[in-house]
């Protein structure tokens, strides 16, 4: 049964993910290392992990698997999810795929190096309404695609 795992600490699309999950009766795990206001929604499972780097990512990578969806802006977590057979979608709705993840990791490393050497100030464009709409479409499309796949 498909489940959605949200890397939630900096996730701007929590409400949108819950809306899509509600339409399909899918459980959503909202994983963070800080307490978030409880939703009280029966499909939402809030998971608070210990503070520390990558603790939420590790929890998601341990629990997500084939047929699940991981929503994250963290490229290494997306790579781990894909390696386990899960689908991965960025907060802006762009899917991570086996074909794109290598380039995404390389660009992430390049940008980090440029920031460390002062050649780039970092910071991408602000999250937009178009990003939110793209995310909703992408998550809906991903749920539909998973439902059409033959069982493993």
DSSP string across 37-100: -----TTEEEEEPPSSTTHHHHHHHHH--TT-EEE-S-HHHHHHHHHTT-EEE-TTSPEE-TTT
Determine the Cα–Cα distance for residues 134 and 140; give it in Å rounded to an integer.
10
- Beta-carbon contacts of residue 46 (< 8 Å; ≥ 6 apart): 30, 32, 36, 38, 39
pLDDT digits (tens, 9 = 90+) for 10-19: 889 999 999 9
State which residues form the domain around 56.
3-148
Domain count, the chain: 1
What's the CATH number where 79 sits? 3.40.50
pLDDT-derived band at 120 (thresholds 50, 70, 90) equals low
Bigger pLDDT: 32 or 120? 32
pLDDT digits (tens, 9 = 90+) for 50-101: 988 889 999 999 999 999 999 998 889 999 999 999 999 999 898 998 777 6
Q: Which pLDDT score, from 0 to 100, does residue 111 have?
A: 59
């Amino acid at each position: 049964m498909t489940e959605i795992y949200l890397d939630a600490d900096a996730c701007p699309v929590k409400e949108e993910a819950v809306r899509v999950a509600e339409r399909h009766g899918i459980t959503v795990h909202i994983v963070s290392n800080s307490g978030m206001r409880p939703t009280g929604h029966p499909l939402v499972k809030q998971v608070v992990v210990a503070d520390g780097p990558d603790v939420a990512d590790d929890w998601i990578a341990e629990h997500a698997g084939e047929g699940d969806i991981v929503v994250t802006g963290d490229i290494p977590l997306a790579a781990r999810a894909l390696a386990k057979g899960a689908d991965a979608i960025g907060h802006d709705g762009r899917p991570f795929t086996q074909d794109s993840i290598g380039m995404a990791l390389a660009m992430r490393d390049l940008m980090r190096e440029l920031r460390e050497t002062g050649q780039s100030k970092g910071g991408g464009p602000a999250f937009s309404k178009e990003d939110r709409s793209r995310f909703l479409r992408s998550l809906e499309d991903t749920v539909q695609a998973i439902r059409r796949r033959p069982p493993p």
